[in-house]
Structure formats: structure tokens, C-alpha cells
Amino acid sequence: MKIKICGITNLDDALAAIDAGADALGFNFYAKSPRYISPPDCAKIQSTISNLKSPITAVGIFVNSPATFIADVLDACSLDLAQLSGDEPPEIIIGLWGRAYKAIRPRSVEEAEHDACRYTPLANGQPALLVDASHPRLYGGTGQMADWSVARYLAGEHSVLLAGGLTPDNVADAIEAVHPHGVDVSTGVESSPGRKDPARVRAFVDAARGSLARRS
């Protein structure tokens, strides 16, 4: 079970997530997001984190950006993976040499199957997909819950990160219902858009880990 704290905008929040036991941090490079961070600011945070020798995975979140821009940011900010949260075609993942995975927002099992057929053959690591809540205008960060039944269907065949409306109060239930490879949270652990609440971050991580303990 991997735990990703997404929408990191400052060093304090990054350090709080690492201290709480998160496995991955997400940095949002979509300029319209309230959790946007510039590549230079992300690079500064990453420089400090690298000195900690922490095994944290750093993920850049992109929406409809060219592959060349994504690759440049991954390199400049020392990021491990790109999360493609827009309407990107499979060719973008190919152009990033396997350093990316696709976020999808399926409204049905049929849509989920279609997306899985398009993107999972290109997965060169973990996860293969991120499942988020469907929204007609927004590309994530809505606080709305994903369809757990659709996510469970995908998780039965693929390595799936579950996002969408997760909080410290419901993440254990989500893990029990979906059995994902990992969980991803942003708004559910915030004190305000773009600012994390350290107590909620720790509560989220503890709840997710506690769910695993019960399953074992």
C-alpha cells in the first residue's frame, strides 16, 4: 500500500508528509490549480528533500502539457514520475519513456475498460493508473469521491492508485472496498487550498496503515 500526499506547495508540508510516513509527494504544475507550484520552487523543495536521504517518490502532476515540457520539468526538479491528469493520448506516455502514468475519471466499468486498454500496456512501473472522480470541467482536486465499484473492478486486474474525496475518516473504508495499490489525497488533508494540515496528514497515513493491519 502506497500513500501519496498530493498538491504539495511548500517545504513545511513536504516535510510533514514525509514525517507522517507518506511514500510519495505530488507537485502540481497545472497553472489553473490552487495547488500550482512553479518548477523553480519545486526544485528548491526537492533539493532539501534529497539531503534527507528519504526514499520518497516525487511525482509531477501535469494537465495537457507537451511531452518535452514534462520531461524538462521531471529532470529540472529531480522527479521520479509524471501523473498525466488531462486528456493526454497514450503517445505522451511513450514519449516519456515509461516515466508516466495516466489519471482517469471513468463513469462506468465500460469507460474504465476502455481507458485500461489504452494506457495500462504502456505502464513501466507502479502504478498503472490513478482513478479519480469524474467531473465535467475539472481535472481533479475536486474533493468529490471516485466510484469505488469501478475502481475495485480495475484494481482486480491492474495496479491502481485511488484518489477522489479521500479523507482520514474514509480512507480505511476505501481500501477495504477497492484493494488498491495505493491511495492519493490532497483536499482531504488541507487546512485551506494548497496548505496541508499536519494533523490530518498524519491521521490519513495512520488510518491507511491501520486498514492494512486489519486485513493482515
Q: Which residues are catalytic?
A: 6, 132
Dist. CA 15–CA 36, nearest whole Å? 18
> In this structure, what DSSP letter does residue 36 have?
B
DSSP states along 105-155: --SSHHHHHHHHHHHGGG--SS-SEEE----SS--S-S-PPP-HHHHHHHH
Three-state secondary structure call for residue 195? strand
Dist. CA 125–CA 122, nearest whole Å? 9
